[in-house]
Amino acid sequence: MCNTSCIQKWRNNIKQDKRIARSMKRQSLLIATTNKRKQAQIKHTLGSSPLKLIFLDDLEKKMPAPDEDADTLEGNAILKAKAYGDAMKMLTLAEDTGLFIDALNGWPGVYSARVADISDDQCTLTLEKMKDVPQGQRGATFKSVVAVYDPTDNSIFLSTGEKRGEIATDIAEVTDVHKKSIGHTFGYNRIFHHTDIDKRASELTYQEREENKHHRSVALHNVKYFLQNQYGGKHFVVPVAMIIRDGKILMNKRNDPHNPQFHEVWEFPGGTVEIGENIFENVVRECKEETGYDVEILEQLPFIRVKTRHIERFSYQIYLIPILCKVIGGDGVFSDDEVLEMKWYTPEEIPSLKLFPDDENMVSEFLGMIHDAISKNNL
């Protein structure tokens, strides 16, 4: 068992570990957009990828944006990715999005961003062109294309996401605060109606965009799997935090709508150890990010679970390391990007929850050990 003395010994090696880690750098991925809303969505979707995300604003060397003069979204995405990737000699991601309206023969399409400079004008011009088009004939498609360009071998990966809907007959109102925060990047969202959930694109929460397969979200999730397969490892060390309070263990309900087999599954807080990070730093960071709690590590339980998982085009193996913790601070406000719900359960209740395959066996098998650790640490 890794007790307090073991933990202290490991901590004494942290400085040496960090010196080694400094010589191991994560490969960077340049995100070739200055659009803040796109940046936020890309950061959220790809933040857990094996690559370090670098944005154009982070670069000391600045370069003018290339002319987007291709006649397809694919062409513009590739053009931007190659221009920035070759100039910066970096793996680069670029994206282009367009609104394709059936009744207007696909207009504005590839020219969507250049129809007008601000959202109000884009929407007004579109509705003027659509004023004589009756209901039932106002279908439209939002389409996003993401290109990933690697200048080391001139390779290009393309991913596409589409969302069908209809063009409304008016422009949805938003608050002044909303307008100020979004500005001209709001685009056509106020006139694009999601018929499957009866909402304008401008009204969707982040969770609704993910669950209803937002066009850019679909494209980015495909990119995420590509990056993991192409540039990431296939084996992951994942410390899992067993946070104990009053004899109960904190569990998170996972928010992962793009992976239905993992969505709404209960799990222990935790995540992959990053380069330059040891398991104790990882547990403290992941607990804070996911649960909002500050935790103190008490001990590592003396077993490691090895599991194989499959997600669409990506297979990997994880090594689960259970770490016993207690809450020492924080507000307990969980990250709704990753977590749908957070609850405390007794160890006996956990196996009856909807868990990842085999997790219930892990808890049941080591139930006595978990109870002993709870008792020993007065939790």
Query: How many other β-carbons are positioned within 10 Å of the β-carbon of residue 132?
Result: 6
Cis-peptide, bond into residue 108, ω within 30° of zero: yes
* CA nearest to 120, candidates 200, 211, 183: 183
Q: CA torsion sign, 107 to 109 to 114 to 119?
A: positive
Whether 153 sits among the annotated catalytic residues: the reply is no
* Catalytic site residue from 96, 121, 150, 358: 96
The token pair that represents 205 in the structure block: 């929460």
* CA nearest to 151, candidates 241, 235, 83, 220: 83
**CB-CB contact of 321 with 238 (8 Å):** yes
The token pair that represents 177 in the structure block: 């605060």
Q: Which residues pair with 270 in a beta bridge?
A: 240
Q: CA 37 to CA 135: how far, in whole Å?
A: 31
The owner of tokens 């194989």 is 308
Helices (H), the chain: 4-12, 14-22, 36-46, 73-88, 119-129, 176-182, 206-211, 215-231, 279-291, 359-365, 367-376
Q: CA 184 to CA 1: how far, in whole Å?
A: 58
Q: What is residue 267's three-state secondary structure?
A: strand
The token pair that represents 126 in the structure block: 């579109």
Q: Please give the positions annotated as active site.
A: 96
